Amino acid sequence: MEPTWFKLYPLLLEGTKITAQVAGLSAVLTLIISAAAGLCRVSGFAPVRAAAKVYVDFFRSSSLLVLLFWIYFALPFAGIELPKLAAAVLAISLNCGAYGAEIVRSSILAVPKGQYEAAVALNLNPTQTMWRVIFPQAFLRMLPPLGNLLIELLKSTSLIYFITMSDLTYEAMILRNNYYSWTPQIFLLLLVIYFILAAIVTTIVRLLERRFAAWR
Amino acid sequence: MWSWDYVISILPDLLRAFRVTIAATLAGFAVAAVFGLLLAVLGRSGWKPLRLAVRAFVEFVRSTPLLVQVFFLYYSVPMLTGLSLPAFATGVIGLGIHYSTYMSEVYRSGIDGVPKGQWEAASALNLTKTRTWLSVILPQAIPPVIPVMGNYLIVIFKETPILSAITLVEMLLTAKNTASVTYRVFEPYTMVGVIFLVISYAMSLVVMRFEKRLRR
Residues A184-202: tens digit of each pLDDT: 999 999 999 999 999 999 9
Secondary structure string (H, E, C) spanning A125-136: CHHHHHHHHHHH
Cβ partners under 8 Å of residue B206, min gap 6: B150
Kindly give, in sequence order, each residue whose CB lies less than 8 Å from that of residue A134, ignoring residues fewer than 6 positions away.
A108, A111, A115, A116, A119
Among A61, A155, A202, beta carbon nearest to B201: A61
CA distance B18 to chain A (A): 14
Q: Is the pLDDT of residue A1 over 70?
A: no
Q: Is residue B216 scored above 90 in pLDDT? A: no
What mean pLDDT do residues B158-177 have? 96
Share of chain B above pLDDT 90, in %: 87
**pLDDT at site B213:** 84
Round to whole Å and give the CA distance between B108 and B145.
Answer: 10
For B92-146, the pLDDT digits (tens) are 999 999 999 999 999 999 999 999 999 999 999 999 999 999 999 999 999 989 9
- A216 pLDDT more than 70: no
Return residues 62-91 of B near A (CB < 8 Å): 62-69, 71-72, 75-76, 79-80
Which 110-169 residues of chain B touch chain A by CB within 8 A?
A: 157-162, 165
Q: Does B57 touch chain A (CB under 8 A)?
A: no
CA distance A161 to A180: 19
CA-CA distance, B108 to B151, in Å (whole number)? 16
Predicted confidence (pLDDT) at residue A207 exceeds the cutoff of 70: yes
Contact residues on chain A for B200, CB-CB shorter than 8 A: 60-63
Instruction: State pLDDT tens for residues A112-123.
Output: 999 999 999 999
| Residues 6 or more apart whose Cβ sits within 8 Å of residue B152 | B29, B32, B99, B102, B103, B106
Give burial (CB, 10 Å; 0-12/13-18/19+) of B200: buried
- Does B149 have pLDDT greater than 80? yes
Rounded to the nearest angstrom, the gap between the alpha carbon of residue A24 and the centroid of all alpha carbons in its chain is 8
Q: Do B64 and A191 touch (CB under 8 A)?
A: yes
Which pLDDT belongs to residue A177? 92
Whether A214 has a pLDDT exceeding 70, the answer reads no
The residue-averaged pLDDT of A132-152 equals: 93
Q: Residue B131 has what pLDDT?
A: 93
Residue A81 has pLDDT above 80, yes or no: yes
Instruction: Compute the half-sphere exposure of residue A216: CA atoms within 13 Å on the CB side of its CA.
Output: 13
pLDDT at B214: 78
Q: Report the predicted TM-score, pTM, of the whole model to 2 decimal places.
A: 0.93
- What does the angle CA B184 – CA B190 – CA B195 come to, to the nearest 5 degrees? 135
Average pLDDT over chain A, rounded to whole? 93
Interface test with A, best of B1, B25, B71, B99 (most A CBs within 10 A): B71
In B, minimum Cα distance to A200 occurs at: B63
- Provide, as residue numbers in chain B, all residues whose Cβ is less than 8 Å from the Cβ of A199: 63
pLDDT category at A15 given cuts 50, 70, 90 is very high
More confident residue, B84 or B68: B68
**Mean of per-residue pLDDT scores for chain B:** 94
Q: How far apart are CA A139 and CA A147, in angstroms?
A: 12
CA angle B97, B98, B100 (to 5 degrees): 60
Task: Quote the pLDDT of residue B86.
Answer: 95
C-beta atoms of B189 and A66 within 8 A: yes
| Maximum alpha-carbon separation in chain B | 73
Rg over alpha carbons for chain A, rounded to the nearest Å, is 21
Flag if A61 and B192 touch (Cβ within 8 Å).
Answer: no
pLDDT digits (tens, 9 = 90+) for B17-44: 999 999 999 999 999 999 999 999 999 9
Find all residues with CB under 8 Å of A45, minimum gap 6, and list them: none
Q: What is the mean pLDDT of residues B199-208?
A: 95
pLDDT (0 to 100) of residue A211: 87
Do the chains contact at B64 and A62, CB–CB below 8 Å?
no
Whether B170 contacts chain A with CB within 8 A: no
Task: Tell me what the mean pLDDT of segment B34-63 comes to.
Answer: 96
What percent of chain B is predicted at pLDDT more than 70? 100
Helix and strand totals (H; E) in chain A: 9, 0
Residues in chain A within 8 Å Cβ distance of B158: 62-64
Q: What is the model's pLDDT at position A3?
A: 72
Interchain contact, A194 vs B63, CB within 8 Å: yes
d(CA A47, CA A55) in angstroms, rounded, equals 12
Indicate if the pLDDT at residue A103 is higher than 90: yes
Q: Which pLDDT score, from 0 to 100, does residue A215 have?
A: 59
Contact map slice: A 33-92 vs B, CB within 8 A = 57-58, 60-67, 69-70, 73-74, 77-78
For A36-54, the pLDDT digits (tens) are: 999 999 998 999 999 999 9
What is residue A212's predicted lDDT score, i.e. its pLDDT? 83
Q: What's the average model confidence in pLDDT over B57-75?
A: 97
What is the rounded distance in angstroms from the CA atom of residue B107 to the CA atom of residue B109?
A: 5
| Residue B159: closest C-alpha in chain A | A63
Contacts of B38 (CB under 8 A, 6+ apart): B100
